[in-house]
Amino acid sequence: MFCLTTATDHAWAPLALADLPRLLADHAHCELKAASNALSLVPRLVEFPDVTRALSELAREELVHYEMVLEVLQKRGLRLGPPLEDRYAVDLRKALQQLPKNSAIGGAVDRLVVAALIEARSCERFKLLIEALEASGADGEVLALYTELFPSEARHYVTFVDLAATCLGGDRAAVEARVEALAVLEGRIVAALAGDGTRSVVHG
């Protein structure tokens, strides 16, 4: 899907759904992190007002998604709890150091590229969850949640790539090349974390 080079094992979704409270709680934290990440980029990109406006809008949307997941948790009497260790995101940011230096691509642009990869993986995972829920015929409420959120993840991937290209004066080819290079490393990270099962909606 999109730029991903390594597919998630189809066994991941049934394992994740077997521990639904943990999955939903981690999903809520992921939405909060996504909102925080978008907002943290705003002061670094003030010279691009259209980009900062888009990031602000995206952050608001991520907070709405957080509230949607939180509502499902609360209706079931479940607690959010502390966030899980986010090895995937940490390792993905470290992987940037393995890529060739590019004087035109600054740190903020690379963070947009990382965000695009995370959204692509999240989109893929949501699709797997939807397929598993449809196949089982169980938990229509959670199926409706992921069905509603799925298109947003796909749109956010495109948004981050577009914003990175804007920051590079419209050089989309350079951004796509950076995304493709990082996607190879991202695939290795996902493969290494595959044994963690229900670790996260975004990564496993």
Residue-wise DSSP of 90-144: HHHHHHGGGSPP-TTS-HHHHHHHHHHHHHHHHHHHHHHHHHHHHHHT--HHHHH
- Mean pLDDT of all residues in 50-64: 98
**Is the separation of the CB atoms in 27 and 201 below 8 Å?**
yes
pLDDT tens digits for 78-101?
Answer: 999 898 888 899 999 999 889 988
pLDDT tens digits for 17-51?
Answer: 999 999 999 999 999 999 999 999 999 999 999 99
Query: Is the pLDDT reported for residue 203 higher than 50?
Result: no
Task: Please choose, from the candidates 98, 99, 97, 108, the residue with its C-alpha nearest in 3D space to the C-alpha of residue 40.
Answer: 108
pLDDT of residue 183: 97
pLDDT of residue 198: 39
φ/ψ of residue 70, rounded to 5: -60, -40
State the pLDDT confidence band at 5, using cuts at 50, 70 and 90: very high
pLDDT of residue 138: 86
CA distances from 71 to 27, 76, 141 (A): 12, 9, 11
Mean of all residue pLDDT scores within the chain: 92
**Is the separation of the CB atoms in 160 and 55 below 8 Å?**
no
pLDDT of residue 86: 85
pLDDT tens digits for 102-150?
Answer: 767 889 999 999 999 999 999 999 999 999 999 999 899 999 999 999 9
DSSP letter (8 states) at residue 7? P
